[in-house]
Each structure stands twice: as structure tokens, then as C-alpha cells.
């Protein structure tokens, strides 16, 4: 079956947007193939895995379109550009329904009016091309080979222009991109964060050494070209690691953070702050989550995994008190500063493991009416979920960017006294297979 070309029919799609075909009784998942299509695919074996790639589409789906991006087949950052936007929404709706329809019916997904140029956080990696020219872009799928990108159609246009300027300055100063194999070179990554409402821009230069030769001139040239930049931060990462940011930071220009407004609250965004990458859809997401919670002025709310306090501060005007808990101490510091910045006095932030914190609240017999939880992609562990059961809030609002782990966690929660009341998908990440889902739950004995 190695390197064989076969005509196949796509019988379905997986959660990552790959088409499912069956060859010799084996199910193979093929990128860029849409359910219902017939295609010629090349099948090849790599170690223990059998993969396939599309050679030619024989019968096209009505959902197939020409991708807008010239890097689409190399980049790996997007997975669904070969589908119309309506087709993408239908695919994501179907993914959520297949996973969660046994709990209750799923609301229609909330999509974007303009599903392009929405990302406010841009990460670019530096390398050399075959001619020895400095390039910037992202890693090609499943490799550490940098695909050079001049313009990305899902990220802020201004970031692409700033990154292009930095490459030119690098050439002028003979500044070398970092080589992760040899450990040589200086500039590893460029991180650009943009404020959607404020229009403020932060540039983070991730470098391999704290010794920055020509630093003052570098900054002067960059600011002259891009006066819209409000702050520049140097982050030192001299470890052999796939992590982008290191532990040491130095502010080279400005305050070291930018501000942006979300749902009426102003937030300080630092290099390491977690802040949703699609500001338009974040407002849609949070407003729907708050509406689902049906809050009142007498409630005490717990915001687990509170980050820099976005949900905590946005709901604070609707309830008596908000308690936020977060393991990342830098994020907690940002949350406290954000509360002060917005003159909000009924929020309390704690640096602790969310599960341990809830167990301690339960032991103290503290009453929490509603818990908002927005865990990492891996979902919540059983320790965290069991702590929710011990705390026993009346309402749970579970926000997740991974419906598979979310559904796994819902199984636990519904076996331990909660019932799903509403499921709402939101398209936070157009052109990719990722989807955000809000699930509202209620403790059975309070119905």
C-alpha cells in the first residue's frame, strides 16, 4: 500500500476537519478532503502509521472553495480554508452535535460577519531560507521547518508589516536568527499583540541572550517606521525548549504592557497574559455565557482559571461578589491591577490551584452560587471536577475550546448531580477546526 494512488470516497470528517476514507478495511484521515467528495489520494506508510494526501479531487463538494491564502497547503495554521465559511460553520455544528446531542439539543453556532484578519496575537518564528535570507513565519505542520509568510489572512495586518520591518532591520545590523539545532543566533521569535479597541501595539522580541548589540538604534528605527507601537519588551529564552517565552523580561520602550477594552472593561495585557485572540467573538462568547448564567445582584460567583480577570470583572457589576482563582501568579497580579484600573471593588483574586481552593471553600462551608470555568484544552482533571461536586454551586458555566475534553468532563458532572441546560457553540477561530463551546449546567436539586 506504500505510495499507491487510489480513488476513494470521503465518508465523513473527524474533529480536526480531516476527511475520513476507508482503504483495505482501514480508516485513514486525509487533510483537505470534504465529506461526500471523491478523490485520488496517495497512500504512504511512515513507521507504524499509514497516511494519505489528496492528489486530485474527482467529484467536488458544494462546500469546496479556493483558499484565500497562498500558504494554505504548507503552513498548517489553518485547516478549513478549502471550505466555504458556511460550510465551516456547518462542520463545527456537526462536531458539537455528534459529541453532545445526547445531553440536549445544540443551539445554532454563532459565526463571524467577516471571518478574516481577526487575531490580535501573532507569533512569528525566524530562520534562514536556502539562499541565506532571513525569513519569518510559522512551522510547517508536524515539522520544525519555517514556512515564510508575508501576510496571514487571519491575523492583524499591522503585525505583518511590523514583522517585515524587523526582518529588514535584522539585515542592516547583520542580526542572526536563532538556530535551535546549533544554539547559535540571537532573535528566536517575534510576538505582536494588538488592542482591537485601543489600537495599541506591543512587540516582544524573544532573544537567546540578554546582550543586545545595537539595541538603541534598533528600537529607534523600528519606532520611526511604526509609531503605533506603544511598548517593546525583550524576553530572554536561552533554553533548548519548544516554549516560546523565557522567564526573564526587560522593557525596552514604553510601559511593558498595552491596554484594550472588552465588554466595557479595560484590561492590561502583558507579554505572558492570556487574552482571547478574537476580540469580536470574545464579546459574543462572554455575553452569551453571562446571559446563560442568569445572574442576580445577590449572587457570589467563582471564576475558576480566571487568568487576568476578564470574566470576573465583566460579571462583577451583575452580582454581589466575584472570587477569582488562578495558578499563574503573574496573571493574578494582572487581575488585581485590572480591578484597580476599572475601579471595581467586589472582586477578590487568589493565587492557588482551583481544585484545592474549591475544596477549602467547601470545608469552610462557603456558599458559591455560580462557577464559571474556562480550563486549558486538556480540560479539567478529576480532582478539579470532584472539588466542584464538593462545593456544589447551583449553576455551572463551562467554556471550552476543546469539545472532546469538555464532553468527557460533562459525563462526570452529569453523573454527579448536574444537568445540562444549554449548549452554545461560538466560532472563535474561523478557517481552523477549533471551536469554542459554552455549556450551562444546573444542580438537579435546585430545579
Instruction: Report how far residue 65's alpha carbon sits from residue 34's, in angstroms, rounded to the nearest whole number.
Output: 11
Helix axes 85-100, 403-415, angle to 10 degrees: 30
Rounded Cα distance between 340 and 179, Å, is 42
What 3-state DSSP class applies to 393? Answer: coil
Give every CB contact of residue 200 below 8 A, 6+ residues apart in sequence. 194, 230, 231, 258, 259, 260
Backbone phi and psi for residue 385, each to the nearest 5 degrees, phi listed first: -65, -40
Q: In whole angstroms, what is the distance from residue 14 CA to residue 3 CA?
A: 23
Catalytic residue among 78, 265, 306, 401: 401
Specify whether 401 is catalytic. Answer: yes
The SS3 call for residue 116 is coil
The CA-based angle 133-136-140, given to 5 degrees, is 110
Residues 66 and 10: their CA atoms lie apart, in Å, by 19
Catalytic site positions? 401
Amino acid at each position: 500500500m506504500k505510495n499507491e494512488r487510489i480513488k476513494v470516497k470521503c465518508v465523513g470528517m473527524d474533529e480536526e476537519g480531516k476527511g475520513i476514507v476507508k482503504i483495505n478495511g482501514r480508516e485513514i484521515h486525509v487533510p483537505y478532503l470534504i465529506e461526500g467528495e471523491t478523490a485520488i489520494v496517495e497512500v504512504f506508510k511512515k513507521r507504524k502509521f499509514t497516511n494519505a494526501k489528496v492528489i486530485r479531487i474527482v467529484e467536488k463538494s458544494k462546500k469546496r472553495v479556493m483558499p484565500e491564502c497562498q500558504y494554505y497547503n504548507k503552513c498548517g495554521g489553518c485547516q478549513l480554508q478549502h471550505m466555504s465559511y458556511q460550510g465551516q460553520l456547518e462542520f463545527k455544528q456537526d462536531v458539537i452535535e455528534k459529541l453532545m446531542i445526547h445531553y440536549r439539543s445544540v443551539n445554532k453556532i454563532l459565526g463571524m460577519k467577516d471571518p478574516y484578519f481577526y487575531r490580535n496575537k501573532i507569533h512569528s518564528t525566524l530562520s534562514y531560507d536556502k539562499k541565506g535570507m532571513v525569513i519569518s513565519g510559522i512551522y510547517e505542520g508536524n515539522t520544525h521547518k519555517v514556512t515564510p509568510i508575508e501576510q496571514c489572512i487571519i491575523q492583524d495586518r499591522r503585525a505583518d508589516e511590523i514583522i517585515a520591518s524587523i526582518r529588514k532591520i535584522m539585515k542592516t545590523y547583520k542580526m542572526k536568527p536563532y538556530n535551535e539545532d546549533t544554539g547559535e543566533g540571537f532573535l528566536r521569535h517575534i510576538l505582536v499583540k494588538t488592542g482591537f479597541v485601543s489600537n495599541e501595539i506591543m512587540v516582544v522580541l524573544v532573544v537567546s541572550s540578554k546582550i543586545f548589540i545595537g539595541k538603541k538604534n534598533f528600537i529607534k528605527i523600528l519606532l520611526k517606521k511604526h509609531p503605533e507601537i506603544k511598548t517593546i519588551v525583550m524576553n530572554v529564552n536561552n533554553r533548548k525548549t519548544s516554549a516560546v517565552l523565557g522567564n526573564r523580561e526587560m522593557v525596552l520602550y514604553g510601559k511593558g504592557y498595552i491596554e484594550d477594552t472588552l465588554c466595557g472593561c479595560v484590561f492590561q495585557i502583558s507579554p505572558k497574559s492570556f487574552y482571547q485572540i478574537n476580540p469580536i467573538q470574545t464579546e459574543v462568547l462572554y455575553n452569551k455565557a453571562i446571559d446563560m448564567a442568569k445572574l442576580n445582584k445577590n449572587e457570589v460567583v467563582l471564576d475558576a482559571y480566571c487568568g487576568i480577570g476578564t470574566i470576573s470583572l465583566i460579571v462583577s457589576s451583575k452580582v454581589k461578589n466575584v472570587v477569582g482563582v488562578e495558578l499563574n501568579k503573574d496573571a493574578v497580579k494582572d487581575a488585581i491591577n485590572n480591578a484597580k484600573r476599572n475601579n471595581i471593588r467586589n472582586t477578590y483574586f487568589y493565587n492557588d490551584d482551583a481544585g484545592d481552593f474549591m475544596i477549602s471553600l467547601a470545608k469552610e462551608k462557603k456558599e458559591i452560587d455560580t462557577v464559571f470555568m474556562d480550563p486549558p484544552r486538556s480540560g479539567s482533571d478529576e480532582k478539579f471536577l470532584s472539588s466542584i461536586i464538593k462545593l456544589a454551586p447551583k449553576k455551572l458555566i463551562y467554556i471550552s475550546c476543546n469539545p472532546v475534553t469538555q464532553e468527557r468532563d460533562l459525563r462526570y458532572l452529569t453523573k454527579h448531580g448536574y444537568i445540562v441546560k444549554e449548549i452554545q457553540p461560538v466560532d472563535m477561530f474561523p478557517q481552523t477546526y477549533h471551536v469554542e463551546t459554552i455549556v450551562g449546567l444546573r444542580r438537579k436539586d435546585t430545579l
